[in-house]
Amino acid sequence: MPNISAKRALQPEQLPKSMEEVQVVNIETDLLIIGGGNAGCFVAVEARKLNPEIRVAIMEKGEIMRSGACSAGMDAINTYIPEGKTPEDLVQWSRAQVGGGPLREDLALSNAEELNEAVDDLERWGLPVLKDENGKTKYRGKWDISIHGEQLKPIMAEKAIEAGADVYNRVAGTGLLMEGDRCVGAMGLGVRDGKLYVFSAKAVVNSTGGAGTLYKSYTADSTDCGAQIWMCPYCVGTGYAMGFRKGAELSSLEQRWVATRTKDFCGPVDTISVGYKAPIINCKGEKIMQQRYAHLGGDAAPRFIRANAPMNEWLEGRGPTYCDTRGLDDATNWQMMCDYLNERPTFVLFLAARGQDPVKEPIEIFGSDPYIMGGHTMGGFWVDIDRMTTIPGLFAAGETAGGNPNKFVGGCAAEGKIAARGAWKYMQGMAQPALDEQQVAAEKERIYAPLMRGGDFDGVSPREMKERLQRLMDEYAGGYSQFYRTNEERLDYALKHIKMLQDQFRFLKAADLHELMQANETMDRVDVAEAVVHHLKARKETRWAGWQTRADYPERDDVNFDCFVETVRDPKTGEVRAFTRPYEQIVPGDRYNYPG
Amino acid sequence: MPPRINPDKCNGCEGLAESKCEEACPGDLMAVDETVMKAYCRSTNDCWDCMSCTKACPRNAIEQRIPYQLGYHKATLKPFMSKNTITWKCKDIYGNEKVYKYRNRMDK
């Protein structure tokens, strides 16, 4: 029974009316993977390769063929080490992209060593990788290669299923199962059948994806535009929230991912600026990177500077900003449209709906809302070299694993393999954990409460609370409307209101299972937002303007902050503690510039 | 982004435990009204416009639309799936049509 399909959602009259009516499904497995995305699929394949007898279960919120951030497809693999370059070169480039770090060079290096093999797996599995006229892999930038990745997600999912993983579709993870300080499984809500799924496992890999929808998006103000963001809006930070609530250490959440995206319809821009060498220009037609950021590297400036540059133009009165695609030849334009169709198909529809031909009119660009994504920037769990978090038995891979930026698709795949090996090593000699009924009962109470309040209950809808949080984060914790800037007082204000929201969880109400899932997602968002604000508060400097801008500490402070900012929430008291960990340079050379 | 369902084409994937669009949507947004056996999107405001439902529909009954605050009436983009290729037909608001066809799988 590998890919277990969900059925139609229960009708209102079929919903459980009391906690006693909630059915519990117990599943015993060796390895539990929370989230069957890019990283999760590779965990499954690698685990079954290590031992074909191992029982692997995937708890999947969507349906694995089209779930998560890769559901629409992908147009490039952003990192694949070319001939003549080494893993050390890639780490050096990655370090310069994040302004010299700090970053976890141990993790980055181990990932880089695994990277090409993981990308080759994808090609062997059927992913079309574009070739040049000599039959060699076609590079569109220094490290990134072009693919026709419309089928990327089904290709990965099919391999996870073929490898023998049992995929439980439409089960949304909510909380970890613990035995003392050790993680021994996880629980989730069946969003179609309403059952509580309890997975007991010897080891768990948390690969739920990152956190979008913590901040308000600038289009989230009218009809049908609430999820008009670049990051998959169904990745809400549940993985971070689950670990954080049980005391797992989070790292570097203040290094948010803010990207330059196409304006009004949030599509990728590297596709055009890197892939097709289209310069970024302002309203006067000035080439921004060359004319205003030459001293920081121009087009090769660190990623956060490139991301922040167009928004600075707006701030200083020189918007709109564009990627100048004018004059592209027809063949190149056709290729560019195919790239969009592979990753963000509706952008092509958007251009058609504007009656716009990018060969004649440049494509407008703008900053995105901020995301927490350990596969792009560094926010995620503090992990050891085996990708185990500070909770024994809980591993992280992909967006959930922190400290190691610029992973993208290939790096998340590679990290899935590394985490699978770590988990496999960890579970040797481990007995099947006993089920703690009390913990299950407590989690049931927590996650089903919004469904049990009764039709007349005067409460708060999951959407109302989500929108309150998004507005709060946008205005006080450095969202797009504030040009990503914040200060101590605003962050204190945000924390005060996050505490109020946490206290108001008891008013959340859900009329059906879909809303119950959303209620749980919103609680996860609030908890992750709490961690984000503590991280932003603790870094009293500005290291990565745009990603992390402190208006009250506008300079970089290497004396105090050339290190990692960490947080831990006490599972008993709920108190959050922030502290630092030192940075260690492993790959020698200039930290701030990539020479290649 | 709202997927629009053409009621003349949709039959709710009659006979299946869940319809193809219900199965595909990463946001659990697609559902079927069993009284009329037609699919619908339960919350158009939460749609990410990934077009998974549109690609999965066996009757080409789903069309993706850009909300009017972002784009004008009425452009269309339609994917046609075959074994190892995808064909996209895009028509802009002035009626100009473009077709994009390419290989999307090498193993089939």
Alpha carbons within 13 A on the beta-carbon side of A419: 37
Using CB atoms, pick whichever of A68, A224, A341 lies closest to residue B45: A224
Distance CA A201, CA A118 (A): 26
Any CB–CB contact under 8 A between A68 and chain B? yes
Residue identified by tokens 């001293």 is: A295
Task: Tell me the β-bridge partners of A549.
Answer: A485
The pLDDT of A4-27, averaged and rounded, is 95
Assigned CATH for A3-9+24-74+109-130+151-256+372-438: 3.50.50.60
Q: Looking at chain A, which residue has its C-alpha nearest residue B23?
A: A63
Full residue range of the structural domain in which residue B84 is found:
72-108
Are A359 and A327 in contact by the 8 Å Cβ rule? The answer is: yes
- In terms of domains, do B57 and B93 share one? no
Q: What is the distance, to the nearest Å, from the Cα of residue A52 to the centroid of all Cα atoms in its chain?
A: 30
The helix (H) or strand (E) run that includes residue A271 is helix A270-273
Tell me how many domains chain B contains.
2
Residue boundaries of the structural domains of chain A? 3-9+24-74+109-130+151-256+372-438, 260-367, 450-561
- In terms of domains, do B12 and B48 share one? yes
Please confirm whether the linkage preceding A102 is cis (ω < 30° from 0).
yes
* Interface probe with A: pick from B14, B42, B52, B55, most Cβ of A within 10 Å: B52
Q: How many CB atoms lie within 10 A of CB B33?
A: 10
Q: Looking at chain B, which residue has its C-alpha nearest residue A331?
A: B100
Written as six digits, the tokens of A498 are 């996050």
Are A176 and A246 in contact by the 8 Å Cβ rule? The answer is: yes
- In terms of domains, do B57 and B84 share one? no
Task: Tell me the β-bridge partners of A3.
Answer: A167
Using CB atoms, pick whichever of B46, B48, B100 lies closest to residue A341: B100
User: Average pLDDT of chain A?
Assistant: 96
Question: What is the pLDDT, as a whole number, of residue B31?
Answer: 97
- The pLDDT tens digits of the residues spanning A88-124 come to 999 999 999 999 999 999 999 999 999 999 999 999 9
Question: What is the pLDDT, as a whole number, of residue A596?
Answer: 75
Distance CA A284, CA A333 (A): 24
Task: Tell me the β-bridge partners of B38.
Answer: B33
A216's CB contacts (< 8 A; 6+ apart) are A369, A467, A470, A471, A473, A474, A479, A480, A481
Are A67 and A153 in contact by the 8 Å Cβ rule? The answer is: yes
Q: B49 to each of A14, A77, A226, A233, A369, how far by Cα in Å?
A: 31, 22, 11, 10, 17
3-class SS string, A28-53: ECCEEEECCCHHHHHHHHHHHHHCCC
Are A72 and A343 in contact by the 8 Å Cβ rule? The answer is: yes
Question: What is the pLDDT, as a whole number, of residue A272?
Answer: 79
Residue A567 DSSP SS3: strand
Any CB–CB contact under 8 A between B1 and chain A? yes
- In terms of domains, do B58 and B77 share one? no
Alpha carbons within 13 A on the beta-carbon side of A247: 13
- In terms of domains, do B7 and B59 share one? yes
List, as ranges, residues 431-490 from A with C-beta within 8 Å of B.
none
Q: Cβ contact (<8 Å) for A334 and B100?
A: yes
Distance CA A415, CA A398 (A): 6
Question: What is the pLDDT, as a whole number, of residue A147?
Answer: 96
Task: Please state whether beta strands A203-206 and A250-251 pair in parallel, antiparallel, or not at all (unpaired).
Answer: unpaired
- In terms of domains, do B50 and B76 share one? no
Residue B106 DSSP SS3: coil
Describe the crossing of helices A87-97 and A105-124 by its angle, rounded to 10 degrees: 110
The pLDDT of A168-197, averaged and rounded, is 98
Are A42 and A409 in contact by the 8 Å Cβ rule? The answer is: no
- In terms of domains, do B59 and B97 share one? no
List of chain A residues whose C-beta atoms are within 8 Å of the C-beta of residue B52: 66, 71-72
Q: How many CB atoms lie within 10 A of CB A90?
A: 28
Task: Indicate if the pLDDT at residue A222 is higher than 70.
Answer: no
List, as ranges, residues 13-52 from B with C-beta within 8 Å of A.
17-18, 22-28, 31-32, 34, 42-52
Q: Cβ contact (<8 Å) for A224 and B1?
A: yes
Written as six digits, the tokens of A60 are 């999947």
A298 φ/ψ angles, rounded to the nearest 5 degrees: 60, -130
Task: Indicate if the pLDDT at residue A1 is higher than 60.
Answer: no
Are A189 and A171 in contact by the 8 Å Cβ rule? The answer is: yes
Q: How many CB atoms lie within 10 A of CB A85?
A: 16
Residue type, A500: M
- In terms of domains, do B5 and B56 share one? yes
Smallest Cα distance from A72 to chain B, Å:
5
Task: Indicate if the pLDDT at residue A315 is higher than 70.
Answer: yes
Q: Classify burial at A120, counting beta carbons within 10 Å of its beta carbon; exposed 0-12, middle 13-18, buried 19 or more.
A: middle
Q: In what order do the strands lie in the sheet with A24-28?
A: A24-28, A196-200, A182-190, A171-179
Architecture of domain A260-367: Alpha-Beta Complex (3.90)
Q: Residue B49: which CATH number? A: 3.30.70.20
Q: Looking at chain A, which residue has its C-alpha nearest residue B86?
A: A150
Question: What is the pLDDT, as a whole number, of residue A171?
Answer: 98
- The pLDDT tens digits of the residues spanning A37-51 come to 999 999 999 999 999
Q: Looking at chain B, which residue has its C-alpha nearest residue A357?
A: B92
Question: What is the pLDDT, as a whole number, of residue A398?
Answer: 98
Q: Looking at chain A, which residue has its C-alpha nearest residue B92?
A: A352
Q: Cβ contact (<8 Å) for B64 and A349?
A: yes
User: Average pLDDT of chain B?
Assistant: 96
Residue identified by tokens 């900003």 is: A321
Q: In what order do the strands lie in the sheet with A563-569?
A: A380-381, A250-251, A563-569, A576-582
Domain boundary pick from B44, B63, B82: B63
Any CB–CB contact under 8 A between A268 and chain B? no
- In terms of domains, do B83 and B54 share one? no
Asked if ipTM goes beyond 0.95, one says: yes
Distance CA A482, CA A21 (A): 47
Are A16 and A194 in contact by the 8 Å Cβ rule? The answer is: yes
Distance CA A516, CA A169 (A): 17
Distance CA B65, CA B96 (A): 17
- The pLDDT tens digits of the residues spanning A328-358 come to 999 999 999 999 999 999 999 999 999 999 9
Sign of CA dihedral A455, A520, A60, A66: positive
Which of A563, A594, A579 lies closest to A255, judged by CA?
A563
Residue type, B33: D
Using CB atoms, pick whichever of A6, A225, A514 lies closest to residue B69: A225
Written as six digits, the tokens of A566 are 């960490």
Proportion of chain A above pLDDT 70, given as a percent: 100
- In terms of domains, do B48 and B1 share one? yes
The pLDDT of A457-475, averaged and rounded, is 97
List of chain A residues whose C-beta atoms are within 8 Å of the C-beta of residue B41: none
Question: What is the pLDDT, as a whole number, of residue A300?
Answer: 81
Q: Classify burial at A570, counting beta carbons within 10 Å of its beta carbon; exposed 0-12, middle 13-18, buried 19 or more.
A: exposed
What DSSP character marks residue A131? B
- In terms of domains, do B2 and B37 share one? yes
User: Looking at per-residue confidence, does B29 or A140 come out higher?
Assistant: B29
Task: Indicate if the pLDDT at residue A496 is higher than 80.
Answer: yes
Any CB–CB contact under 8 A between B80 and chain A? no
Task: Indicate if the pLDDT at residue A442 is higher than 90.
Answer: yes
Sign of CA dihedral A238, A239, A242, A244: negative
- In terms of domains, do B85 and B51 share one? no
Q: Name the CATH topology of A450-561.
A: Methane Monooxygenase Hydroxylase; Chain G, domain 1 (1.20.58)
